[in-house]
């Protein structure tokens, strides 16, 4: 006849005294309390492994931290796992590992993993530095050491409040976007099930969109005259003219390399890696643009960049903000920024009556229609040659007016 085990009681457990040797108090169905000579009382569950059928045991913790009722509940949970073919010991280890990872997978750690992938996305180095720096300044101090699983929308909103208080709503929007990229990465790799930061921008006012300051086309001679009236380095003036004539963005112009230029075909091909929209951009070069290259050839023809830095190391290009500094220097601060050259060109070309699609193609604005975009690329190049030549003459005339005004 099988021996009947009398279930334990709290009184029996409390009154159990340690001896020179370990002994056990059985509760039945594999659960027992181990009494150690030190006085420790440890709950253990004895069972057969589902696969090997070998006997083993798993600890449920110490009494009284784990009460008799708690230990019995753990036994029932273990029996449920065994009924499903799951080893309670392996399940416990996996759960402990999961909790350890949750605690140690902080926002900053996950952001670092995300950033490693982000760094391979062909973004410019300056952009990548700006992204990471914004997280270091505005997010990590508040939530960097918080486990990713514990973060709520309120945590991120609190982190962004100082930026809001400074009126930097554009920065709030940018940083919130970067927070969301990190959190969606955490979702995609399985650390969290949903992104609690998905709608945090709704907690802030929308930034007021301000157009970048730019001149009217008829005001261009005024700028050219002002530039002529101050002592600006020849290389800086050439970069300014190059950006104006090619209708490119500041960084695209400043980082021009000689191997991107085809003098014979009068074309400048900017690789996708340097373009904002990550698509190769081909620019027909007007005679005036080619003249700039002729000026720069003796200066930088032996170097990689057409407009190399005037400071050591000369292997780097000029800073994209050089033209902006020149514009401020001649008294146009608040009236014009370098990016505004594109607006001047767009206005002049539209008022002249050039086809809007051709102008948009020249500005490297991406058409949302795939078929039309392919057509634009194939057909508009010749039309753009004519348009860029007209624009080159327009800029040259503005320079002549400058000269005439100085007589």
Distance CA 369, CA 388 (A): 24
Beta-strand pair 281-284/55-63: unpaired
- DSSP states along 318-373: PPTTHHHHHHHHTT-TTT--TTHHHHHHHHHHHHHT--HHHHHHHTTPPPS-HHHH
Is 339 one of the catalytic residues? yes
Establish whether 365 is a catalytic residue: yes
HEC sequence for 370-399 = HHHHHHHHHHHHHHHHHHHHHHHHHHHHHH
Catalytic residue among 98, 129, 375, 400: 375
Catalytic residue among 276, 278, 314, 352: 276
Active-site position among 118, 342, 384, 402: 342
Quick one: DSSP state of residue 283? Answer: E
Q: Which of 75, 178, 249, 274 is catalytic?
A: 249
104-135 residues labelled b (16+ CB within 10 A) or e (exposed): ebbbbebbeebbeebeeeeeeeeeeeebbebb
- Among 297, 365, 372, 400, the active-site one is 365
Residue 287 vs residues 12, 272, 284: alpha-carbon distances, Å: 101, 25, 10
CA distance 385 to 391: 10
Q: What is the DSSP letter of 77?
A: H
Question: Any catalytic annotation for residue 48?
Answer: no
Q: Is 375 a catalytic residue?
A: yes
Q: Give the number of residues written for the chain.
A: 407
276 is catalytic: yes
Instruction: Single out the catalytic residue among 168, 339, 373, 385.
Output: 339
Identify any residues that bridge with 267 across adjacent strands, giving them in sequence order.
262, 284
* 342 is known as an active-site residue: yes
Point out the residues that are catalytic. Answer: 249, 276, 339, 342, 365, 375
């Amino acid at each position: 006849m099988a021996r009947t085990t009398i279930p334990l009681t709290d009184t029996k457990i409390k009154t159990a005294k340690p001896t020179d040797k370990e002994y056990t108090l059985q509760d039945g169905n594999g659960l027992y309390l181990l009494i150690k000579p030190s006085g420790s009382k440890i709950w253990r569950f004895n069972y057969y492994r589902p696969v090997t059928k070998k006997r083993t045991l798993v600890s449920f913790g110490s009494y009284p931290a784990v009460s008799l009722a708690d230990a019995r509940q753990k036994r029932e949970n273990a029996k449920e796992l065994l009924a499903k073919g799951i080893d309670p010991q392996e399940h416990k280890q996996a759960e402990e590992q999961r909790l350890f990872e949750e605690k140690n997978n902080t926002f900053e750690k996950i952001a670092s993993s995300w950033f490693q992938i982000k760094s391979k996305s062909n973004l410019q180095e300056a952009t990548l530095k700006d992204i990471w720096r914004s997280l270091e300044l505005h997010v990590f101090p508040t939530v960097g050491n918080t486990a990713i699983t514990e973060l709520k929308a309120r945590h991120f909103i609190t982190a962004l409040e100082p930026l809001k208080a400074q009126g930097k709503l554009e920065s709030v929007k940018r940083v919130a976007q970067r927070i969301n990229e990190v959190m969606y990465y955490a979702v995609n790799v399985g650390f969290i099930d949903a992104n609690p930061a998905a709608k945090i921008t709704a907690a802030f006012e929308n930034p007021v969109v301000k157009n970048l300051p730019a001149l009217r086309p008829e005001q261009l001679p005024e700028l050219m005259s002002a530039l002529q009236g101050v002592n600006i380095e020849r290389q800086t003036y050439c970069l300014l003219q190059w950006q104006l004539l090619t209708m490119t963005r500041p960084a695209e112009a400043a980082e021009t390399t000689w191997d991107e230029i085809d003098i014979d075909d009068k074309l400048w091909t900017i690789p996708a890696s340097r373009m904002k929209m990550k698509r190769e951009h081909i620019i027909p070069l007007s005679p005036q643009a080619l003249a700039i290259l002729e000026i720069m050839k003796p200066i930088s023809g032996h170097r990689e960049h057409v407009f190399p830095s005037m400071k050591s190391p000369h292997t780097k290009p000029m800073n994209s903000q050089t033209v902006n500094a020149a514009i401020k220097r001649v008294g146009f601060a608040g009236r014009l920024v370098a990016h505004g050259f594109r607006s001047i060109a767009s206005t002049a070309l539209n008022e002249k009556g050039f086809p809007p699609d051709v102008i948009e193609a020249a500005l490297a604005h991406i058409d949302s229609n795939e078929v039309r975009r392919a057509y634009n690329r194939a057909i508009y190049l010749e039309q753009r040659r004519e348009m860029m030549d007209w624009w080159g003459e327009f800029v040259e005339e503005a320079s002549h007016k400058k000269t005439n005004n100085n007589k």
